[in-house]
Chains A and B, each alone.
Chain A
Amino acid sequence: MTNPLIHLVDDDDAVRRSLALLVGTVGLSVAEWPHPQAFLDGFDRESVGAIVLDVRMPGTSGLTLLDQLLAQGVDQPVIMLTGHGTVEMCRRAFKAGAAEFLEKPVDDERLIEALHECVRQHVRTRERLAADRGTRERYTRLSEREREVLSLVIKGQTAKQIARVLGVSPRTVETHRANLGAKLETDSLAQLIRRFAMLVEDADTE
């Protein structure tokens, strides 16, 4: 996993530089962006980390930028910074999906705590995404009959019951179950159910 990267978007050079120094003291890498548009065009969407946005910027306001980021499917958590936060602005930011809303001048403890939390959250999101992708990929390896068997297994039916439903012998069902375990790379029934129950239910309802 790469080192987490914090994107700082603020048009005020002094504020941005100072915040970068502050964030740097806890060992996080910082990318500074004076222009919202340049940030939107240029930042690495694959990197792990968080985004810090100033609400009041010329051209594109922080809230607009937040909307654009989420519309583009950016999954890095966003921390909003504002000099004068109204309740309305705060509500809008959280509704739009901001992870945190901090007032300037910002307290170092709170900012750093928020950044750590965001990074942790982002790492978890990325891991879950990777796991999901693996599960899906393994599921596609199954044959049509194996998927039927899997569905019934997850519903809690025994080999005999499955054999009756599908009109095959219990031994054939056992064979399918063994193949399933191998293809899906699971060792136990419990693991099988935990990882694939949701996926199978989604597939069945489709």
Chain B
Amino acid sequence: MASSKCRCLALNAKLTRVTTTLTRNLRWALLWLCATAGLGLLVVRFDIAERREAFQAEARTAHRLLSQRAAQHDAILATLALLDPAPSGDHPSTRLPALYPQVLKVWRRGADGAWPEPSLASAEALSRVSGRPALAAVDAAAGHYDLVLAGSPASFALRIELARWVPWAAWPFAREGAVKADLVHGAQRLMLQPGQEATGWRGGVTPGFVFDKALDTPSQPFVLHVQRATGPAGWPWARLSALAAVLAVMVAATAALQGQRRRRRRAEQLLRLARTSRLNALGELAAGVAHELNQPLTAVIASTQAARRMLDDDPLPQATLNEALTQARDQARRAAEVVARLRRLVERPGDSAAVQPTALGDAVRGALALLQPELRRLALRPQIDDTRATVDADPVALEQILHNLLNNALQAMHAVPAAQRCLQLRIGIESGRGVLRLRDGGPGLTPDVLDHLFEPFFSTRPGGLGLGLSLCASLAGAMGGVLSAQNVAAGGAEFRLELPLTCTR
């Protein structure tokens, strides 16, 4: 039962962890999606505006070209009327189609002649009133229209083919492209190029680009209608995918950075917690010891004080005096027993199993990494001179020693100006032993402090327990090493940690 419950709990915890990770990733994905959508929308809008501008420019060019050509037709008719070639024979007008490919046919009507088609006659009447060419029949299916200029003695008409009318060489749109172009005259629609029907993307989000403008020639009142379909197919997908990719990289990088920061923060918290709990345990132990010692001491003092008072009595109260002194002796023994018990408690058994080959340089760098915030606060860059030494050490004890030594060095440098601060770490082999020399730019150690440096309960810091260096020294001793200290002539203190080298054989 218990084990299944346990398993269930473990599973639950795992599930929670997985869910948390998923939720976090989902949040990042959502952020990426939103950013891509937002910026993508902007890109699409700019792109559409740009293409609309280009389309309008092209449509204006097309309009100008067509207007020029239409004006040409007016000019041809005017020239014909002016020259009025002979009604028969080799009329120059028969050679016109060769000169102007868009002119399919030329008609001439003399004073007594008749038009082959009635529409030409009515157009001639119109032309005579307005004094300029007039449009006769428009044949949308065949793609041509007729233009008449009334004159005297003869009137002329031209049949113009649309396909040849358009100056394709200068035409801004691709003939088989997406652009649809028509000339609209009333209900009739003369197709210039089919393009794609741009009635709008389904849903009408983008109706497409539209250009509508009447040609500049009043004789040929066509409206140029140009339309280009737009829609998702026309979007700048390459740019959009590049944008999405860049954003994905950025979001992923941010997520990774955040994750790293979170992990580092958690590690720091754990470290702080461990340190605090260690201090709490130490405080608890100290309080317990204090009480255990205080009780017998109270009894000893009270008994001896009682005894001393009884000495003034006459006669001497022998029995009570005896009791008081016996009490004092017993309680003094009790105190001694407490001390002995405490010593047995803190005495570490020589645990050689924990000793393992350790690169001194790596241990130093590890300890420095833990003190990064403090180093930053002091604006201090440690100089490490590592000529490599692998020593036999208990990594935990070694870390504790290094942490203590580094911490002391940093503490010492709070008191000196920033320019004077320095931290030198030299690792190497000296006479067959692995040695770390740690030199700081602090005020150094006074002779008095040097004498008592490694004694327990000796501290120069107000409120300090005075156990740090004493612990370091005994930890080093337990590993067969030596910890010593001296002042440096240039100023500051140097601590020297010596440990046995690992036997390579």
Given contacts A14-B330, A83-B290, contact A22 B295 (CB under 8 A): no
The reply to whether the CB of B487 lies closer than 8 angstroms to some CB of chain A is no
Which parts of A73-132 form the interface with B (CB within 8 Å)?
Answer: 83-84, 104-106, 108
- Min Cβ gap A174→B in Å is 63
Point out the residues of chain B lying under 8 angstroms from A83, CB to CB: 290-291, 294-295, 298
Which parts of B311-364 form the interface with A (CB within 8 Å)?
Answer: 313, 320, 323-324, 327-328, 330-331, 334
Contact of A108 among B295, B297, B305, B331 (CB under 8 A): B305
Given contacts A24-B320, A25-B310, A84-B287, contact A18 B294 (CB under 8 A): no
Bound-state CA distance A108–B328 (Å) is: 15
Point out the residues of chain A lying under 8 angstroms from B303, CB to CB: 18, 21-22
Contact of B302 among A15, A26, A56, A84 (CB under 8 A): A15
The reply to whether the CB of A12 lies closer than 8 angstroms to some CB of chain B is yes
The reply to whether the CB of B13 lies closer than 8 angstroms to some CB of chain A is no
Which parts of A1-54 form the interface with B (CB within 8 Å)?
Answer: 12, 14-15, 17-19, 21-22, 24-26
The reply to whether the CB of B29 lies closer than 8 angstroms to some CB of chain A is no
The reply to whether the CB of B309 lies closer than 8 angstroms to some CB of chain A is yes
Q: A14 touching B290 by the CB < 8 A rule?
A: no
Q: B291 touching A108 by the CB < 8 A rule?
A: no
Point out the residues of chain B lying under 8 angstroms from A25, CB to CB: 306, 309-310, 313
Bound-state CA distance A19–B307 (Å) is: 11
Point out the residues of chain A lying under 8 angstroms from B302, CB to CB: 15, 18-19, 21-22, 105-106, 108
Point out the residues of chain B lying under 8 angstroms from A24, CB to CB: 306, 320
Q: A105 touching B291 by the CB < 8 A rule?
A: no
Point out the residues of chain A lying under 8 angstroms from B296, CB to CB: 14
B: number of interface residues (CB 8 Å): 27
Looking at chain B's contact residues, the main secondary structure is helix
Point out the residues of chain A lying under 8 angstroms from B370, CB to CB: none
Q: B306 touching A106 by the CB < 8 A rule?
A: no
Closest to A16 in B: B299
Determine which residue in A25, A56, A84 has the highest number of CB atoms from chain B within 10 A of its CB, and name it. Answer: A25
Q: B324 touching A21 by the CB < 8 A rule?
A: yes
Closest to B321 in A: A21
Bound-state CA distance A14–B329 (Å) is: 11
The reply to whether the CB of B488 lies closer than 8 angstroms to some CB of chain A is no
A: number of interface residues (CB 8 Å): 18
Bound-state CA distance A108–B324 (Å) is: 14
Given contacts A14-B299, A15-B299, contact A84 B306 (CB under 8 A): no
Contact of B294 among A17, A22, A104, A108 (CB under 8 A): A104
Given contacts A18-B331, A24-B306, contact A105 B301 (CB under 8 A): yes
Point out the residues of chain A lying under 8 angstroms from B310, CB to CB: 25
Q: B309 touching A14 by the CB < 8 A rule?
A: no
Bound-state CA distance A21–B300 (Å) is: 12
- Min Cβ gap B288→A in Å is 11
Q: A18 touching B334 by the CB < 8 A rule?
A: no
Determine which residue in A21, A84, A106 has the highest number of CB atoms from chain B within 10 A of its CB, and name it. Answer: A21
Given contacts A17-B327, A21-B302, A21-B303, contact A84 B294 (CB under 8 A): yes
- Min Cβ gap B314→A in Å is 13
Q: Mark A149-172, 1 if CB is under 8 A from B, else 0.
A: 000000000000000000000000
Point out the residues of chain B lying under 8 angstroms from A12, CB to CB: 295, 299
Q: Mark B268-304, 1 if CB is under 8 A from A, else 0.
A: 0000000000000000000100110011111111110
Q: B295 touching A15 by the CB < 8 A rule?
A: yes
Closest to A26 in B: B309
Q: A14 touching B320 by the CB < 8 A rule?
A: no
Contact of B309 among A19, A22, A105 (CB under 8 A): A22
- Min Cβ gap B469→A in Å is 27
- Min Cβ gap B387→A in Å is 51
Bound-state CA distance A19–B323 (Å) is: 12
Point out the residues of chain A lying under 8 angstroms from B331, CB to CB: 14, 18
- Min Cβ gap B323→A in Å is 7
- Min Cβ gap A93→B in Å is 18
Q: A56 touching B291 by the CB < 8 A rule?
A: yes
Q: A21 touching B323 by the CB < 8 A rule?
A: yes
- Min Cβ gap A116→B in Å is 14
Bound-state CA distance A17–B299 (Å) is: 8
- Min Cβ gap A80→B in Å is 14
Bound-state CA distance A18–B328 (Å) is: 8
Bound-state CA distance A24–B327 (Å) is: 15
Point out the residues of chain A lying under 8 angstroms from B306, CB to CB: 18, 21-22, 24-25, 108
Bound-state CA distance A22–B307 (Å) is: 8
Q: B294 touching A21 by the CB < 8 A rule?
A: no
- Min Cβ gap A17→B in Å is 6
Can you list 14 pairs linking A and B with CB atoms under 8 Å apart? A14-B330, A15-B295, A17-B323, A18-B327, A21-B302, A21-B306, A21-B323, A21-B327, A22-B306, A25-B306, A83-B290, A83-B291, A108-B305, A108-B306
The 6 closest A-B CB pairs, nearest first, are A18-B302, A108-B305, A21-B306, A22-B306, A25-B309, A14-B299
A18-B327, A22-B305 given; 4 more Cβ-contact pairs under 8 Å: A12-B299, A83-B298, A84-B290, A108-B301
